[in-house]
């Protein structure tokens, strides 16, 4: 995977460029009304406090590698002919403690032999994985990298806990990043990452179940995401008014609105999908990118400011000038192989 092996010649204008995007959501929709049948809550409380109306929940036979493989296949299909030398998978819910889930996903995608490893940074996982991918490319270790974020986050929840069950959902998103030129659309700006382990107890898994201190997390999330986003925008030499689309980790609609307001980005430039999918942890940002590209919210040339926050604590932000890509919807129509992915575990995806 050295520069020599991949024929990589590095130059001063090299950049990592997004050249493919895809996502996959499990079909089962769980509405707020469904939750009210088993939790002491109301549809109105959930929607008013979180902005969430429904979330997707994977059935018990579906693994994180199933979700990741499907999203990864779609991202690869949107970057036709692109050979990747690494698969980086961000997840909080790997299929097993050991080995990592990424090698299995790579094999099922027909990528046996490439580098494959997991990254764990909870809801900031996608940005950590993206930074890793851009680093692999910048150092000449890879020409192109498949970055996937996949979560079966609902498996971490206490089914009787009304403070967490309404918030989270399952899903996966992915991008393909390749070596490119810094002037090209799709270039990933500097990725700013941070952490504060002193506050690890605000979000953690204890006695087998996910727990979080909602109010403290809320405050930290707004502060850290706004701060990181400001740094990323400044590094790209963008002012607030230059930002065409703000992509905030979908933790809570009120958190995203507060981040947008801190940054001074108007509401109509703020992309969201939390209402339909809830918080899908690491997968949140690439699912939102994939859906927004598909439904025309993200347009080629848009200056996109991306920011995320999660357990650890961890946070991060970057910028992307959105490229022209084939979307998942177009692929569903055109690429029969994607539509035929086997939902069962272990089946290779062509």
285-324 binders of ligand COA (CB under 6 A): 309-310
Does the footprint of ligand COA cover residue 215 (CB under 6 A)?
yes
CA-CA-CA-CA dihedral for 219, 214, 128, 260, to nearest 10: -40
The residue among 23, 33, 313, 270 whose CA lies nearest residue 151 is 23
Only one of the segments 78-86, 159-167, 181-189, 270-278 lies at the binding site for ligand COA (rule: CB under 6 A); that segment is 159-167
To which H or E segment does residue 245 belong? strand 245-248
279 carries an active-site annotation = yes
**Residue 188 CB, nearest distance to ligand COA (Å)?**
22
Which of 15/217 has CB closer to ligand COA?
Answer: 217
Structure tokens at 172: 């996966």
Does the footprint of ligand COA cover residue 239 (CB under 6 A)?
no
**Residue 309 CB, nearest distance to ligand COA (Å)?**
6
Does the footprint of ligand COA cover residue 214 (CB under 6 A)?
yes
Residue with tokens 């999330």: 221
Only one of the segments 112-120, 211-219, 233-241, 267-275 lies at the binding site for ligand COA (rule: CB under 6 A); that segment is 211-219
**Residue 272 CB, nearest distance to ligand COA (Å)?**
14
| DSSP labels, 22-91 | EEE--S-EEEHHHHHTTSS--HHHHHHHH--SEEE---TT--HHHHHHHHHHHHHHTSTT---SEEEEE-
**Residue 71 CB, nearest distance to ligand COA (Å)?**
20
Residue with tokens 């089962």: 28
Only one of the segments 56-64, 97-105, 160-168, 338-346 lies at the binding site for ligand COA (rule: CB under 6 A); that segment is 160-168
Q: How many residues of this chain interact with ligand COA, rule: CB under 6 A? A: 22
324-343 binders of ligand COA (CB under 6 A): none
Structure tokens at 109: 């995608």
Which of 123/265 has CB closer to ligand COA?
Answer: 123
Which of 10/48 has CB closer to ligand COA?
Answer: 48
* Euclidean distance between CA atoms 140 and 127, whole angstroms: 20
Only one of the segments 174-182, 250-258, 326-334, 336-344 lies at the binding site for ligand COA (rule: CB under 6 A); that segment is 250-258
Residue with tokens 């009120």: 254
The residue among 285, 11, 261, 237 whose CA lies nearest residue 138 is 11
**Residue 177 CB, nearest distance to ligand COA (Å)?**
23
Three-class DSSP labels, 173-185: EEEEEEEEECCCC
32-51 binders of ligand COA (CB under 6 A): 41, 45-46, 49-50
Q: Are 89 and 129 in contact (CB under 8 A)?
A: yes
Residue 301, number of CB atoms within 10 A of its CB: 11
Give the catalytic positions in this structure. Answer: 123, 249, 279
Residues that bind ligand COA (CB under 6 A): 41, 45-46, 49-50, 123, 162-163, 166, 203, 212, 214-215, 217-218, 221, 251-252, 255, 279, 309-310
């Amino acid at each position: 995977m050295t520069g020599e092996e991949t024929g990589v010649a590095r130059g001063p204008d090299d950049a990592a460029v997004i050249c493919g995007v895809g996502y996959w959501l499990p079909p089962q929709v769980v509405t707020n009304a469904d939750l009210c049948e088993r939790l002491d809550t109301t549809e109105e409380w959930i929607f008013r406090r979180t902005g969430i109306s429904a979330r997707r929940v994977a059935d018990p036979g579906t693994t994180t590698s199933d979700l990741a493989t499907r999203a990864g296949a779609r991202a690869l299909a949107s970057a036709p002919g692109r050979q990747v030398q690494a698969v980086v998978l961000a997840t909080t819910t790997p299929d097993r403690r050991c080995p990592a889930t990424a090698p299995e996903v790579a094999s099922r995608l027909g990528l046996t032999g490439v580098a494959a490893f997991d990254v764990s940074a909870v809801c900031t996982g996608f940005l950590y994985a993206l930074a890793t991918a851009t680093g692999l490319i910048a150092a000449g270790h890879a020409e192109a990298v498949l970055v996937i974020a996949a979560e079966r986050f609902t498996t971490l929840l206490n089914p009787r806990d009304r403070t967490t069950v309404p918030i989270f959902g399952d899903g996966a998103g992915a991008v393909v990043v390749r070596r490119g030129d810094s002037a090209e659309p799709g270039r990933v700006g500097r990725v700013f990452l941070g952490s504060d382990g002193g506050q690890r107890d605000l979000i953690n898994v204890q006695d087998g179940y996910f727990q979080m201190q909602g109010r403290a997390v809320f405050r930290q999330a707004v502060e850290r995401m706004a701060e990181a986003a400001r740094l990323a925008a400044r590094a790209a030499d963008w002012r607030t008014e230059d930002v065409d689309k703000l992509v905030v980790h979908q933790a809570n609609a009120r958190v995203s609105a507060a981040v947008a307001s801190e940054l001074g980005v108007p509401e109509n430039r703020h992309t969201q999908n939390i209402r339909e999918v809830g918080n899908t942890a690491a997968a949140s940002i690439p699912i939102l990118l994939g859906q927004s590209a598909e439904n025309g919210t993200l347009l080629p040339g848009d200056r996109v400011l991306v920011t995320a926050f999660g357990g650890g604590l961890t946070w991060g932000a970057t910028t992307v000038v959105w490229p022209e890509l084939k979307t998942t919807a177009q692929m569903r129509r055109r690429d029969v192989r994607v539509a035929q992915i086997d939902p069962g575990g272990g089946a290779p995806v062509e």
